[in-house]
Amino acid sequence: MHGRATEWRAVSTLLDRTGSGGGALLVTAGPGFGRTTLLEHAAHAPGSRHVLRARGVLAESRIPYGGLHAVRYAALDGGRRGASAVDTGGQPPADQRRRAGRAAEAQDGLLTLLREVGARGPVLLCVDDAHLWDAPSRAALGFAARRAHAVGPVVLLVSVAGHRAADPDFAGLPVLDLGPLPRQASEALLDDLPEAPKDPAVRAELLVRAAGNPALLLALVRRLSAAERAGHAVLPDANAEAELLGELLNSVLGPPLTAPSTLGPSTGPGAHLALVAAAAHEHEREGAGADARLVHRAATLLARAAGLAAVPGTEAPGTAVPGAAVPGVAVPAADAPKGRTDFGTPGEPGTWPDVLRVVGARVHFTADLIRRAVYATAPPGPRGSAHRALARLLEADGRPLAALLHRALAAPAPSPALAAELARAAADPATPDAGRLRGAALARAAELAGDEGSRARWRTDAAEHALRADRPHEARRLLLAAVSGGPAPRAVRGRAELLRGRMALREGPMADAHASLMLAASLLGPTGHGATEARLAAADAAWAAGDVTACLTALGAGTRDPDPAPEGTWEPPAVSGTSDSGPVLEGVWEPPAVSGTPNSRPAPGGAWQPPAVSLPPPPHGVRPAPRPAMWGGGRTDLARDYGLGMRALLEARLDRAARPLRRVLEQAREEDTPEVLLRAGAAALLLGDVGAACGLGARALAAARAVEPGLLVPRALEHLAYAELRAGRHARARAHAEEGLRAALRSGQVNLVAHHHAVLALAASIEGDTKVVAGHVAAARVTARRNGLAQAATLAEWAAGRTELGRGRLVEAAARLGPLVRPGGPGGHFAVRMLVMPCAVEAAVLAGRPEEARATAEEFALWADFGADAQALPQLARCKALLAPPEMAGPLFEQALALHEQCQGGDFEQARTQLLYGKWLRRRRRPREAGDRLREALTAFDRCGAHLWAEQARGELRAGGAGVSDARAGALTCLTPQQLRIARCVAEGATNREVALRLSVSTRTVDHHLRNVFAQLGVRSRVELARLVERTEKTGARP
């Protein structure tokens, strides 16, 4: 039983009690969730017990005491009855008092039967689908279950459908509810099936449709054709599997609700309410339920047309319901019922069937599968009548699109005129309805269309709405249907590829996303709607993959700036405060590594000469198409300017980048569209204005929450988290990334999940939580490798290397960071490597590899000279100080600290410089100056929450003889500061040579101190020392 370990432990615990006493458990679940399987598993569990089985049957649900008869015959032993069988013979008395006495006798009789059977040994009574038993039998079973602990070694396992979990007959029993299987368990169940599809998209859609229901998942898989299993054919509509859904429906629903074959006088009001509620869900947002008042009014129309007086509970005064004008529902106007105004009592007798629950003014099915089953199993006639009744009422309520959709759902296909009317209404921006309804209307319009061209166009439009509503699996199904029905127009194919590329950006390989988006741009043509979006999205995909050539190709060549900067001028970016070099935005690039001698300022009287970019050239013969003229006007100006700025930076032309990027910021001042604000925030980071980037990111997040919370909120949180990291607000960045991670997981945007893990790893690397860093790095790495996310992978590896640096594991840090910054290799992302370089230089120098560090520092100097990152200049001065001879290092450290003072939000980076300077001063035997710097670093690290780095500063202060308060105490307090540092290095697994390298001492000094450590602590091996250090660091306990 996949995914039921917790539930099985509860059952096993109960079964273990049969040897010493009895008990009972009520198992509840919707149809197909495994109630029967769990009871069968319990019946076959190891152990010496007698198992009695009984099951409710819909055909016997009205036979008095039929359930008790089933238990009595199950208790027959070798053809003989038990000593005291349950007395259920004869006809039930007509008198109420006699009926009550008969019920009491039945309850006592069942207890007596269980007691006598239990006298022969432990007993397990499994009653499946007990909600289908007759009322007297249910009452007797609940009576016995509540007293099972006093009967003897008897255990009762009783299962009921989820919508009957609150049955008063079983009140007081412990309840075990079987919810949907977790995604991982559903995938494992799918893997066990030999006929399971291999296509990832088909598997994903099956998992979504099954919604954690194992029985439905198995049935869906077994009904797939070979073409559907391979992803070559569209899967059937979710409501088209009437036979399958009907089987599940009939297995759990009993009177008064049955699948309505007709809606006539013999049909109970529960059937009307259930069918109308199922139909009303078709125009509502998923999970929102339906308007309870609307459902009651429509059900009343149907009931009166069928010959019933009214649906119970609708006679209260309220708004009149239009009656006679509903096609197919003949209700005289004079008899039009009144609307009910109070629906706050879901348990009102005779009003709502058990499968429906009213919460406030909304009515919900107890399980979405039941809703689908009720709708799918209803014949076209009654279902059409329900839709027409809803259409009339919605039109009277001023909801024309919803009314038109229900008219269309009641109409036969094809109906071209109705389809065109529905599509026009869905596309009308003045229509006051949500995107979910527009998408449903367009999908239905496609089903009613009379030609393949219209059908393909409307399905593509519906797919776009589905994607924006965070339903990618529905969007994928609609796109496949749009292009598989026959030759589609070029523009429709282009829009389909655009949507497919956007979905791949969310959850697929970046190479696939880039290919789809470039194909979309080609199909849409230079003036086609969406071509600009396709090219920018293709650039985003190439950026995330670290493919600069593809990024340049997507942005296009030969684009002209309508307002270029004058020749010979250079506009430095405005910087409103930056911090430690955090990651860049998804789809945003900060200038790459360059080679050669820079000339970043214009020579007097001459034009600015850009340095040569060390990027791979475009493929031979490839010349991307120029930007089309359709970029002019409105928001396309912003897209054009953003593309111009990005391409100029990729070509290392900062003089050409600043002006169009500033225009992007100016145009975004009055904008409230999330996509526009996200692009503007990216432009602000490109300009080095992290303050503006944070502000735009916050505005984009607010706009995304209001417009498309599922789709855009995770992306907006990712952008904002990056900006906060660049601004030095690590706690805020972590909070945004944690929320973004949860939102991305909910919406299935796995690539954004990886990026959020990378951000969280970077934040944790500052705080020094090594386990948290390792967890986020591992999670980001899995998706990054699978989908080619070079940016996320580089950020995660940077976080891991910076953590090693904080722990003082210099060799390990250099081994992790070196490949990320090495030119010409596949190691790191072409832009993020610049941000990693200061850490890589520090690790290489302190690990004894100055030549590697020198080459990296020379390349970093070219990046710092661009001026787009205010933190780069003090970081460069720090790198030079680490590489300089002793007589030059001090002034360079002082220069770095002076440059840090000019930058806002750089507390962590400034503290790192102070720590390195303090270490250098202490080794030059300048303890007073070293102590001042180290105390400043310690204060800043504590303020940032950088615990590992703060511990480094404390260790240096102790080694210099300064007293530092430390909350930890224990056996290690008897060691000198230098001995303590050596003991901690050895406990981490470092050799004597590596310890000497870390602490800048000789191996002989390490040997001498280590012998004294062993003697003072009474340990005889490095393993014992490591255990002692770990125990003392965690608990402060003495040995």
DSSP annotation string for 108-155: HHHHHHHHHHHTTS-EEEEEESGGGS-HHHHHHHHHHHHTHHHHSSEE
- Residue range 597-608: mean pLDDT, rounded: 32
Do you find a cis peptide bond into 874, omega within 30 degrees of 0? no
Percent helix, strand, coil in the chain (nearest 5)? 60, 5, 35
Q: What is the pLDDT of residue 1024?
A: 79
Q: What is the pLDDT of residue 635?
A: 56
Q: What is the pLDDT of residue 616?
A: 34
The pair of three-digit structure tokens given for residue 307, joined into one six-digit string: 């010959």
Distance of alpha carbon 896 from its chain centroid, rounded?
42
Phi-psi region of 798 (alpha: psi -120 to 50; beta: other; left: phi over 0): alpha
User: DSSP for 653-670?
Assistant: -HHHHHHHHHHHHHHGGG
362-to-291, 296, 393, 424 alpha-carbon distances in Å: 5, 11, 16, 29
Lowest mean pLDDT among 559-563, 587-591, 829-833, 1027-1031: 587-591
Q: Which is higher by pLDDT, 424 or 108?
A: 424
Residues with Cβ within 8 Å of residue 446, at least 6 apart in sequence: 419, 454, 455, 456, 458, 459, 462, 481, 482
**Helices (DSSP H) in 597-726: which residue ranges?**
635-650, 654-667, 674-686, 690-707, 709-726
Domain 5-178 and domain 967-1039 have a common topology: no
Helix/strand/coil for 1023: helix
Main-chain phi, psi angles of 344, to 5 degrees: -90, 0
| DSSP-derived secondary structure letter, 181 | P
The pair of three-digit structure tokens given for residue 613, joined into one six-digit string: 């970019």
What's the mean pLDDT when you consider all of the chain? 79
User: What percentage of the chain carries pLDDT values higher than 90?
Assistant: 32
Cα 461 to Cα 465: distance, rounded to the nearest angstrom: 7
Strand partners, 613: 594
Residues with Cβ within 8 Å of residue 880, at least 6 apart in sequence: 857, 892
Q: How confident is the model at residue 111 (pLDDT cuts 50, 70, 90)?
A: confident
| DSSP-derived secondary structure letter, 199 | -
820-to-589, 756, 790, 811, 864 alpha-carbon distances in Å: 17, 20, 11, 15, 18
Question: What H or E segment, with its residue span, contains residue 52?
Answer: strand 50-55
Residue 250, pLDDT above cutoff 70: no
Q: What is the pLDDT of residue 337?
A: 36
Q: What is the pLDDT of residue 756?
A: 96
159-to-252, 282, 301 alpha-carbon distances in Å: 11, 31, 37
- Residue range 1028-1036: mean pLDDT, rounded: 67
Q: What is the pLDDT of residue 269?
A: 62
| Nearest residue to 590 via CA among 463, 487, 457, 684 | 684
pLDDT digits (tens, 9 = 90+) for 564-598: 555 444 344 443 333 333 333 233 333 333 333 33
Q: Are strands 612-613 and 594-595 parallel, antiparallel or unpaired?
A: antiparallel
**Helices (DSSP H) in 416-557: which residue ranges?**
416-427, 435-448, 452-468, 472-484, 490-507, 510-524, 531-545, 548-555
Q: What is the pLDDT of residue 87?
A: 43
* Residue 534 burial (CB count, 10 A): 26
Q: How confident is the model at residue 897 (pLDDT cuts 50, 70, 90)?
A: very high
pLDDT digits (tens, 9 = 90+) for 470-508: 888 888 889 888 888 777 888 889 999 999 999 999 989
Residue 982, pLDDT above cutoff 80: yes
Q: Are strands 50-55 and 123-128 parallel, antiparallel or unpaired?
A: parallel
- Residue range 906-934: mean pLDDT, rounded: 90
The pair of three-digit structure tokens given for residue 586, joined into one six-digit string: 């998804």
Cα 449 to Cα 2: distance, rounded to the nearest angstrom: 44
- Residue range 822-826: mean pLDDT, rounded: 71
Residue 448, pLDDT above cutoff 50: yes
Question: What H or E segment, with its residue span, contains residue 101?
Answer: helix 96-118
853-to-839, 876, 881, 998 alpha-carbon distances in Å: 10, 12, 12, 16
CB 844 within 8 A of CB 814: yes
- Residue range 700-708: mean pLDDT, rounded: 89
pLDDT digits (tens, 9 = 90+) for 296-329: 899 888 877 766 555 544 443 333 344 333 333 3
Q: What is the pLDDT of residue 631?
A: 31
Cα 764 to Cα 756: distance, rounded to the nearest angstrom: 12
- Does the 967-1039 domain belong in CATH 1.25.40.10? no
Helix/strand/coil for 57: coil
Q: How confident is the model at residue 790 (pLDDT cuts 50, 70, 90)?
A: very high
Q: What is the pLDDT of residue 336?
A: 35
Fold of the CATH domain 5-178: Rossmann fold (3.40.50)
Q: Where do the domains of the chain lie? A: 5-178, 183-236, 255-399, 967-1039
**Exposed, middle or buried, 57 (CB in 10 Å: 0-12/13-18/19+)?**
middle
Element counts in the chain: helices (H) and strands (E): 45, 10
Q: What is the pLDDT of residue 435?
A: 66
| DSSP-derived secondary structure letter, 364 | E
Q: What is the pLDDT of residue 535?
A: 92
Q: What is the pLDDT of residue 801?
A: 94
Cα 510 to Cα 803: distance, rounded to the nearest angstrom: 28
Q: ∠ CA(226), CA(231), CA(236), 5° rounding?
A: 80
